[in-house]
Amino acid sequence: MCVEPNMNNLEHLRAVAARLSLQDVARPVCPRCGTGRLDLIEERPHAIYGALGVTWKTLKCDAADCGAVTVE
């Protein structure tokens, strides 16, 4: 077997970077100002549906002049 560990690490890093940038693009636009992106600042299990994997998410707009907090 001829395995090149450095190449494997590079491929891994590239895959991680691709996932991170996808997540960034997937961040929802703030419904209040329409320009900021919502950051996930807290996530906790739902009181009733937590056992099913449902969570409450607290999202905060990253626009400096908005900062709206949304819970969904």
Binding positions for Zn ion, rule: CB under 5 A: 30, 32-33, 36, 61, 63, 66, 68
Q: What would the DSSP string read from start to end of 20-54?
A: HHHHHHHSPBPTTTSSSBEEEEEEEE-TTTGGGT-
In whole angstroms, the minimum distance from the beta carbon of 32 to Zn ion comes to: 5
What token pair was written down for 48? 């009733």
By beta-carbon proximity to Zn ion, the closer residue of 1 and 71 is 71
The upper half-sphere exposure of residue 63, i.e. CA atoms within 13 Å in the direction of its Cβ, equals 14
In whole angstroms, the minimum distance from the beta carbon of 41 to Zn ion comes to: 14
By beta-carbon proximity to Zn ion, the closer residue of 15 and 33 is 33
By beta-carbon proximity to Zn ion, the closer residue of 32 and 57 is 32
